[in-house]
């Protein structure tokens, strides 16, 4: 068994959808489109696959009021975002260059 993570970066996008009138949720803040954008961009950059980057969907990550949210493992870095520009900044800075995006970190 190896101590090396299967993926260098494993990115989880909260896509939780709550019933209308309940606590806010990431699904109502563009999370699905953001996850699809990230997955497409990682493939375009040829960063997907074992030993590289995996973009995944997740259920509730329990940080609803800070959302929408993603978490990147194995580092355990949490981010919020507003649009595709923020997602691109996270990809370019954190996933490609290893630099945390402080302005989006939660």
At a CB cut-off of 8 Å and minimum separation 6, what does 76 contact? none
**pLDDT (tens digit, 0 to 9) for every residue of the chain, 106 residues total?**
677 889 999 999 999 998 887 778 899 999 999 999 999 999 999 999 999 999 999 999 999 889 899 999 999 999 999 999 999 999 999 999 999 999 999 9
DSSP-based three-state secondary structure for 14: strand
Model confidence, pTM? 0.93
At 4 the pLDDT is 80
Domain ranges of the chain: 9-97
What pLDDT was estimated at residue 18? 85
Domain 9-97 CATH (choose: 3.30.70.260, 3.30.360.10, 3.40.920.10, 3.40.30.10):
3.40.30.10
CA 105 to CA 100: how far, in whole Å?
Answer: 8
Distant-in-sequence, close-in-space partners of 51: CB < 8 Å, separation ≥ 6:
6, 7, 8
Count Cα atoms within 13 angstroms, Cβ side, for 66: 14
Strand partners, 96: none
């Amino acid at each position: 068994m190896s101590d090396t993570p299967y993926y260098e970066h494993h990115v989880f996008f909260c896509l939780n959808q709550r019933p209308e009138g309940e606590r806010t949720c990431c699904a109502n803040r563009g999370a699905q489109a953001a996850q699809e954008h990230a997955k497409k961009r990682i493939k375009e950059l040829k960063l997907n696959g074992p030993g590289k980057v995996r973009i995944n969907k997740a259920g509730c990550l329990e940080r609803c009021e800070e959302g929408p949210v993603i978490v990147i493992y194995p580092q355990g870095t949490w981010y919020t975002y507003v649009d595709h520009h923020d997602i691109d900044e996270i990809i370019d800075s954190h996933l490609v260059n290893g630099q945390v995006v402080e302005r989006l970190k939660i």
